Chains A and B, each alone.
Chain A
Amino acid sequence: MTHEECRDELALAALGLLDAADASAVGDHVAGCGECSRELAALRETAAALTWVAAPAEPPSAMRERLLAAARSSSPPPGRAEVAKLRRRPRTGTFAGGLAIAAAVAGLVLVDLRLSNRLVEVESELSRVRERSDFLSSPEVATSPLAGTSSAPSARGKVVLHRDSGRTMLICSSLPQAPDGKAYQLWFVGEGHPYPGPVFRPDPRGRVVLDDRVPPESRAATRFAVTLEPARGTAAPTGETILAGGER
């Protein structure tokens, strides 16, 4: 890729619009061209400003502590772990022996890093499970059981709604598979008006676990229904009702 060709692609690269081949050609040129490299950095700064179009969202208060705990358990950062371990390398012994030990130590460092990365993943998964279970058992949520209609008599479900935040979990079992081009949609019914909720399909065993945040108008709902709708969802229910229920 020539310098001129590359300049034309820089804005597209900064926005992540290029396919892998073009992105790599741009990368190759930029690596050896100071001018393009500075221009790409400046365009990336501009692209990153788009972040501010998003509305900031306050993370849950427990998250900070969870993060620091996870950081502590994955500590020290990899760079330092390697230095610490390599320092312990014995200085005596034959050259070949030294190499073998060095290789073994390097292998151990690698295993150690893999394990610590895996640990972080497991911890992150565990904290998600814990967080969901706290949510489901919190006294501040309203739980509404849903029963299958005559279209799906064995289907069962429940909606767990936290009215202040709008966080909603929908859990269903024995839901029939949605036909091609169709999906299920959850409705929040308040004062006789149904507000549209998420669209979803069950897993192959008919189960559903959705975790979502709904807009304020849906949060006062006391009745809920799941209907069969076109796969993209609709603004008002059009299909057959599969599950329905309300607060106990």
Chain B
Amino acid sequence: MTAREKTACSDKDLLRQIAAGDERSLGELYDRHAAILLGLVLRILRSRSEAEDVLQETFLQIWRRAADFDEHRGQPFSWMALLARSRALDRVRALEVRERVALEARREPTEAAVDLVDHAAAGETGRIVRQALQRIPDSQREVLLLAYFDGLTQSEIAARLARPLGTVKTQARAGLAKLRELLQR
């Protein structure tokens, strides 16, 4: 495969080739997405070594389950992010209490002050998403981020933020709808 043909390969093509057992395509997919997926699991786990573990497991799962990817149900990136996020949240739940205490303590400060500063490495997509989030009311953004990065249920978020459950639901719906609208522009 020449370099040119390689760049023309979409993520969907790569997943198809991985499903057929092509290791080079797994390497290519890794080169494209490992950094942002590691960023995702690191934000959930707050521990570099745990996050690296989860990243490796995620790519092995992609290797084994590429055939399960269904392009009618979403984009490859969302599928991979879902696998990585679920594994990371499972890991948080499985952590022993002592580790969880440390993890929670490390989470606390960033949760309130949502950092929407530009990370140079995140590139264009990162910039667009962060700018969109800045235009969403704080109360809605807070719910979206607690749901996505902390894996809390709506009742847990209501308890954490001391808001009525109905309010949390409304904020989650409104926040996601607004984000969708802003990203479609």
Residues of A within 8 A of B (CB): 8, 11-12, 14-19, 37, 41-60, 63-64, 66-68, 70-72, 74-80, 120, 124, 127-128, 131-132, 167, 183, 185, 198-203, 208, 210-213, 231-233
Contacts and interface: CB of A to CB of B under 8 A. Distances in A.
B145 A68 contact: no
Given A44-B74, A67-B60, A200-B98, A12 B26 contact: no
Given A46-B179, A124-B60, A211-B48, A77 B145 contact: no
A71 B23 contact: yes
A11 B35 contact: no
Contact of A55 (B39, B106, B176): B39
Interface centre among A49, A51, A72 (most CB of B within 10 A): A51
Nearest to B144: A50
Contacts of B72: 41
Interface in B79-131: 81-82, 85, 96-99, 101-102, 104-106, 108, 114, 116, 119, 121-122, 125-126, 128-130
Nearest to A76: B21
Interface size bucket, B side?
A: 35 or more
14 contacts: A17-B147, A17-B152, A41-B72, A41-B74, A50-B148, A52-B36, A53-B126, A53-B145, A54-B40, A56-B38, A63-B34, A78-B64, A124-B60, A199-B106
B154 A75 contact: no
Interface of B: 18-19, 21, 23, 26-27, 30-31, 34-40, 42-43, 47-53, 55-57, 59-60, 63-64, 66-67, 72-75, 77-78, 81-82, 85, 96-99, 101-102, 104-106, 108, 114, 116, 119, 121-122, 125-126, 128-130, 133, 144-145, 147-149, 151-155, 157, 169, 172-173, 176-177, 179-180, 183
